[in-house]
Amino acid sequence: MYESFYGLREKPFSILPDPDLIYWGENHRLAYAMLEFGVMNKAGFTVITGEIGSGKTTLVRHLLKTLDPKIAVGLISNTPPGDGLLVWVMMSLNQPFEGTYPILFKQFQQFLYAQHNQGRHVILIVDEAQNLGLQTLEELRMLSNINVDKHQFLQIILVGQPQLKDMLRTPQLQQFAQRVSSDFHLKPLGADDVARYIDCRLKAAGANAQLFSDPASRMIAHASHGIPRTINILCDTALVYGFAAGAKTISTELVLEVIENKAKFGVLPLSLAASA
């Protein structure tokens, strides 16, 4: 809609995870470094947490693009309902998933052993892991018991909201927490990082000039609380408003109008105080 008006090749602020548009600020670099550390050192459990929309899934997508082909990856993007965790694990690894638990567990073991004998290892990634119950997390820990002696057959990466970190700190999951050798909490972006984030995504989409004024970027930083997905929503809407108004740059007046309309009539939980 507004791409040609602003000289862009594509929309710079999609809310879908796009590993090609990652802003490598310090926080995201550290989070990704811990992911890489966990993979390279064959950590039994790696845990990455962060607020909704902070960029966790985007980092996982980037990791998937860069993993060695010798690594077999299972990705569970949605929390499995009920007691069927092992079924979802087998599905994620493209393995047969029908049968009783003992049969599935035996097939799972045989798959891991076969991968190990071929010089490959297996990583299971669970996104939105804060929705797993205590019992399911304990089941994951039990699955990891297949790692014995010096043999690391299975690595597990858990990605979720801050509630995941809170659950892992409970006494019931003390044994689980002791197996987490790599973890990181992804914090919101600071105000300066928000401005750089906006410019980074615009340049990646083909912008040749600064489209958001510095005060406009600061207003977005304040209203979004530094959450990338919220930044994307505000910036995308501001570009629509700017296109409709024929504005070549996005001013504080345009951003304020976006925030006020979102706060009064939209579904995004923004307060008018955020635009102050």
C-alpha 22/C-alpha 24 separation (Å) is 6
C-alpha 124/C-alpha 187 separation (Å) is: 24
CB 177 within 8 A of CB 168: yes
CATH (domain of 115): 3.40.50.300
Query: Is there a single domain that holds both residue 41 and residue 30?
Result: yes
Residues 249 and 122 reside in one and the same domain: no
Q: What is the CATH number of the domain that holds 236?
A: 1.10.8.60
Q: Residues 31-35: what's their mean pLDDT?
A: 95
Q: Quick count: other Cβ atoms within 10 Å of Cβ 202?
A: 22
Q: Are residues 260 and 170 in the same domain?
A: no
Q: Once rounded to an integer, what is the mean pLDDT over residues 51-77?
A: 94
The CA distance from 120 to 245, in Å, is 56
130 and 219 housed in the same domain: no
Decide if pLDDT at 42 tops 70.
yes
180 within a domain of the structure (yes/no): yes
Q: Per residue in 250-265, pLDDT tens?
A: 999 999 999 999 998 8
pLDDT tens, position by position, 82-109: 668 899 999 999 999 998 999 999 999 9
pLDDT at 272: 60
Distance CA 101, CA 238 (A): 52
Choose the final residue of a domain: 186, 216, 231.
Answer: 186
pLDDT recorded at residue 273: 61
How many angstroms separate the Cα of 62 from the Cα of each of 22, 142, 194, 234, 270?
Answer: 8, 28, 20, 24, 30
pLDDT at 1: 85
3-state secondary structure (DSSP) of residue 69: coil
- Find the domain containing 63 and state its range: 26-186
Backbone angles phi, psi at 235, to 5 degrees: -65, -40
DSSP 8-class letter at 41: T
Last residue of a domain, one of 186, 203, 231: 186
Does residue 217 sit in the same domain as residue 229?
Answer: yes
pLDDT at 270: 79
Query: Is 123 inside any structural domain?
Result: yes
Residue range 19-27: average pLDDT?
92
Say yes or no: 154 and 269 in one domain: no
In tens, the pLDDT along 140-152 reads: 998 888 876 667 8
Is 219 in contact with 259 (CB distance < 8 Å)?
yes
pTM comes to 0.91
Question: What is the distance between the alpha carbons of residues 146 and 215, in angstroms, rounded to a whole number?
Answer: 55
122 and 152 in a single domain? The answer is yes
Tally of structural domains, the chain? 2
Quick one: 238 and 131 in the same domain?
Answer: no
Say if 11 falls within a structural domain.
no
Judgement on whether residues 156 and 199 belong to the same structural domain of the protein? no
- Asked whether residue 262 is domain-assigned, the answer is yes
Quote the pLDDT of residue 171: 94
Instruction: Clarify whether residues 168 and 252 are in a common domain.
Output: no
Answer with the residue of higher pLDDT: 82 or 203. 203
| Last residue within a domain, chosen from 169, 186, 203 | 186
Query: Are 73 and 103 in the same domain?
Result: yes
Residue 26, pLDDT > 90, answer yes
Dist. CA 105–CA 103, nearest whole Å: 5
Over range 27-49, report the average pLDDT.
93
Identify whether residues 98 and 116 lie together within a single domain: yes
